[in-house]
Amino acid sequence: MAEQLISTSVHDKLPDSYVRNEAERPRLDEVVADANIPVVDLANPDRATVVSQIGAACRSHGFFQVLNHGLPVELMLAAMAVANDFFRLSPEEKAKLYSDDPAKKMRLSTSFNVRKETVHNWRDYLRLHCHPLEQFVPDWPANPPPFRDIMSEYCKEVRNLGFRLYAAISESLGLEDDYIKNVLGEQEQHMAVNFYPKCPSPELTYGLPAHTDPNALTILLMDEQVAGLQVLKEGKWIAVNPRPNALVINLGDQLQALSNGRYKSVWHRAVVNSDRARMSIASFLCPCNSVTLGPAEKLIGDETPAVYRNYTYDEYYKKFWSRNLDQEHCLELFRT
């Protein structure tokens, strides 16, 4: 089935299995240019300002970019470089890693969920489980040779940043700074190394269609040379142009639930282009499968009843993967 990978050949025509119905196409000419995307400088010595800015971004967008986040620029560049080198491996080498089984902890695959979907997405991706590293790294790709060391170091740095952001988000909700980290349990961490090849008809398809992330927090390293991420704000798609050395932070469904709907899990999508391939590295912090999730008790009251019922992440994640990516918000299935 590895012949389904689109990164192994050049395409002059978009295969029919990738063409969206007229009503579902991206309408690229209607996309708004980078419009007041929130940016937070984590080096700001005024903690209260940082917390306030993050809270405002979580309410208004469910999404923001961070500067001076502590990840070494050299490591970010190395991660993108080794990711590009991975997708340049021979078709035979990549075929050894291919799987369309969403349950596999390490797999190279294509689109989103080829077993379920009726129209495919113009993306190949390498999916890795990243915590604990010593458990999963031995199964990661051995080629290119620096891959495991570079990506391991990147995963450690991203995890630390994620926990720092949890503290600020907790504080912005009026909770103890360790509330989110503690309530989500011993968290899993996943990574998707996304490759979007040049596309002959970008107006007819997506890299990924509109979706929210099922996890708690997503930290995205974007290709600074090629834009493609878009977020939905007040019914309009906004193009996100990456700032130099910035990281993009997406709130996932679990933080919308935990905040009792105060904060948004952002609808976002990836579009493609005909000129250049694009890379991104998405890191997902995920609750422990067995912990009970739902609105924080401190955020529930007579005036603000619970919007969502309690559930486990295992229940939520299975429901998410049983659907098409662009169906209604999965959280709607868990409303009270």
Are 87 and 96 a contacting pair, CB within 8 Å? no
d(CA 59, CA 265): 9
Which pLDDT score, from 0 to 100, does residue 114 have?
76
Positions of E strands within 91-172: 106-110, 124-129
Q: Which residues contact 52 (CB under 8 A, 6 or more apart)?
A: 172
What is the value of pTM for the model shown? 0.95
Which pLDDT score, from 0 to 100, does residue 319 have?
87
pLDDT, tens digit, 9 for 90 and up, residues 289-310: 999 999 999 999 999 999 999 9
DSSP type of residue 242: P
Q: Which candidate, 62, 60, 71, 65, places its Cα nearest to that of 40?
A: 65
DSSP type of residue 97: T
pLDDT, tens digit, 9 for 90 and up, residues 151-182: 999 999 999 999 999 999 999 999 999 999 99
Percent of the chain with pLDDT over 90: 86
Coil, strand or helix: which one is 286?
strand
pLDDT, tens digit, 9 for 90 and up, residues 47-106: 999 999 999 999 999 999 999 999 999 999 999 999 999 999 999 999 999 998 888 999
